[in-house]
């Protein structure tokens, strides 16, 4: 079977605008949460989020790219550029039909939609919309714009599976390379959901933390006092490449993708299955495909959104997969630092899995001070500070509204 490896990384996150800074701040336990600056949140119940900081599109994109792109697409272009540069690929020497783009975004152009509808509502009723309204809005435009920017003519589309989206995109790219449909993929996900409509909608569902007095400590996965997730934004990109192709060009290889799987809970529109049945099946399927036993997994980057129900259902899935006493497994919930990037979450958390393998460091779960009594002490949740340990195999969990479960497994090579 064809092997698939990771040869390039790109990141734009609330705690770092490149992979190196992102990793350093994650290891140091930095929180990206603060009061929202994107709009005036005074009247909102949830007035804070994890925003990208110090990013100006004019520095990285040309005028036409900015004019034609929603922020989520701009983020995608930014990280795709970093990842391709990092990979060392000389695209000019490759068949463009052998390089594809499979991107992910849960909401797409929410910011564009909101702005245009507001403009219409403020008008005199005459329907005047920007000619870029639909192209900026539609979710597939991120993958389309990446392909246009770099001349990539292979398989191209955008996956959508809510908060499981990025892992779904990575899984699809991995499988297409294994099928011989491409040599290289730009894959990952981006999201720009810190808008009035998006924040208001999630707030009405009572899904987000309301710790407005202390945003930095609001996201506290597995803690008995957790009260919801913190919204995040940004993007992550991975360059997946057929192993022999990468080896022939002398590429630096970060890790190998060895297994991926997806299931559906078939249970509820927004809640995860209370016993974690779908998630456990997906984790087991990904490990089976990889030919790896649960005892061999060193690090699990948990979905761990800091919601009361979601964290417990994930713990139950972990116990079903790894047993009641998984002694080798270290777990962290890094959304405690980045917030929840929705469709972009799996991509940036995959980068953390890969960096954990490269550096033998498990990033921490911050803000968690009192583990929920429903979570057994046999689970090794890395709390407060990063931990040095050997990491050969890492798993990334993502779960999304609609019951989507998507898992990817990485291995040292």
- Residue 352's pLDDT is what? 98
Helices (H), 4-87: 19-27, 63-68, 71-87
Question: By the 8 A CB rule, do 302 and 399 touch?
Answer: no
- Compute the distance between CA of residue 152 and CA of residue 169 in angstroms, rounded to an integer: 17
- Residue 412's pLDDT is what? 98
Spatial strand order of the sheet with 404-411 comes to: 156-159, 99-104, 184-191, 234-242, 4-12, 255-264, 404-411, 393-400, 299-301, 330-332, 380-381
Q: Which of 228, 281, 230 is nearest to 406 (CA)?
A: 281
Q: Where are the domains of the chain?
A: 4-248, 259-411
Burial of 146 (0-12, 13-18, 19+ CB in 10 A): buried
How many degrees, rounded to 5, is the angle at CA 279 between CA 273 and CA 284?
A: 145
| Active site residue ranges | 163, 303, 340
Residue 96 sits at φ, ψ, to 5 deg, of: -60, -20
Residue with tokens 């997969």: 321
- Compute the distance between CA of residue 143 and CA of residue 153 in angstroms, rounded to an integer: 11
- Tell me 258's DSSP state: E
Radius of gyration of the chain (CA): 20
- Residue 222's pLDDT is what? 98
Report pLDDT digits (tens) over 270-304. 999 999 999 999 999 999 999 999 999 999 999 99
- Compute the distance between CA of residue 234 and CA of residue 388 in angstroms, rounded to an integer: 27
Residue with tokens 């969990």: 397
- Compute the distance between CA of residue 340 and CA of residue 194 in angstroms, rounded to an integer: 11
Same CATH topology for 4-248 and 259-411: the answer is: yes
Report pLDDT digits (tens) over 162-201. 999 999 999 999 999 999 999 999 999 999 999 999 999 9
Question: How many Cβ atoms sit within 10 Å of the Cβ of residue 70?
Answer: 28
User: Yes or no: is domain 4-248 CATH 3.30.390.30?
Assistant: no
- Residue 128's pLDDT is what? 84
- Residue 121's pLDDT is what? 86
- Residue 259's pLDDT is what? 98
| Residue ranges in the chain whose pLDDT is less than 50 | none
Report the sign of the C-alpha dihedral through residues 378, 383, 385, 386, in that order. positive
Residue with tokens 């005047």: 128
User: Yes or no: is domain 259-411 CATH 3.40.47.10?
Assistant: yes
Residue 55 sits at φ, ψ, to 5 deg, of: -105, 125
């Amino acid at each position: 079977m064809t092997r698939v490896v990771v040869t390039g990384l790109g990141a734009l996150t609330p705690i770092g605008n490149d992979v190196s800074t992102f990793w350093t701040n994650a290891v140091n336990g930095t929180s990206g949460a603060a009061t929202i600056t994107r709009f005036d949140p005074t009247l909102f119940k949830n007035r804070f989020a994890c925003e990208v900081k110090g990013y100006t599109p004019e520095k990285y994109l040309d005028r036409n790219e900015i004019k034609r792109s929603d922020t989520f697409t701009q983020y995608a272009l930014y990280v795709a550029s970093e990842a391709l540069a990092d990979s060392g690929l000389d695209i000019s020497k490759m068949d463009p039909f052998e390089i594809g783009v499979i991107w992910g975004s849960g909401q797409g152009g929410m910011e564009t939609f909101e702005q245009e509808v507001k403009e219409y509502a403020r008008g005199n009723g005459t329907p005047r919309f920007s000619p870029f309204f639909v192209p900026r809005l539609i979710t597939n435009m991120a993958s389309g714009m990446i392909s246009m920017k770099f001349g990539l003519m292979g398989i191209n589309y955008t996956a959508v599976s809510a908060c499981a989206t990025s892992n779904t995109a990575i899984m699809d790219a991995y499988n297409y390379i294994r099928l011989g449909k491409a040599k290289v993929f730009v894959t990952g996900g981006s999201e720009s959901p810190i808008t009035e409509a998006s924040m208001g909608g999630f707030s009405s569902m009572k899904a987000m933390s309301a710790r407005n007095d202390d945003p930095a400590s609001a996201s506290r996965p597995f803690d008995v006092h957790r009260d919801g997730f913190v919204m995040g934004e940004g993007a992550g990109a991975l360059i997946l490449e057929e192993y022999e192709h990468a080896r022939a060009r002398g590429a630096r290889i970060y890790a190998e993708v060895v297994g991926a799987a997806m299931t559906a809970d078939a249970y509820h529109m927004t809640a995860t299955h209370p016993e974690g049945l779908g998630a456990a099946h997906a984790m087991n399927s990904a490990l089976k495909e990889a030919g790896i036993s649960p005892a061999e997994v060193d690090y699990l980057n948990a979905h761990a959104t800091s919601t009361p129900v979601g964290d417990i259902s994930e713990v139950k899935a972990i116990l079903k997969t790894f047993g009641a006493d998984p002694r080798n497994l270290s777990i962290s919930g890094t959304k405690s630092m980045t917030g929840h990037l929705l469709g972009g979450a799996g991509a940036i958390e995959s980068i953390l899995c890969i960096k954990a393998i490269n550096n033998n460091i498990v990033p921490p779960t911050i803000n968690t001070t009192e583990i929920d009594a429903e979570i057994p002490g046999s689970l090794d949740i890395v709390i407060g500070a990063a931990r040095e340990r050997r990491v050969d195999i890492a798993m990334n969990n993502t779960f999304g509204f609609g019951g989507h479960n998507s898992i990817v497994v990485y291995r040292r090579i």
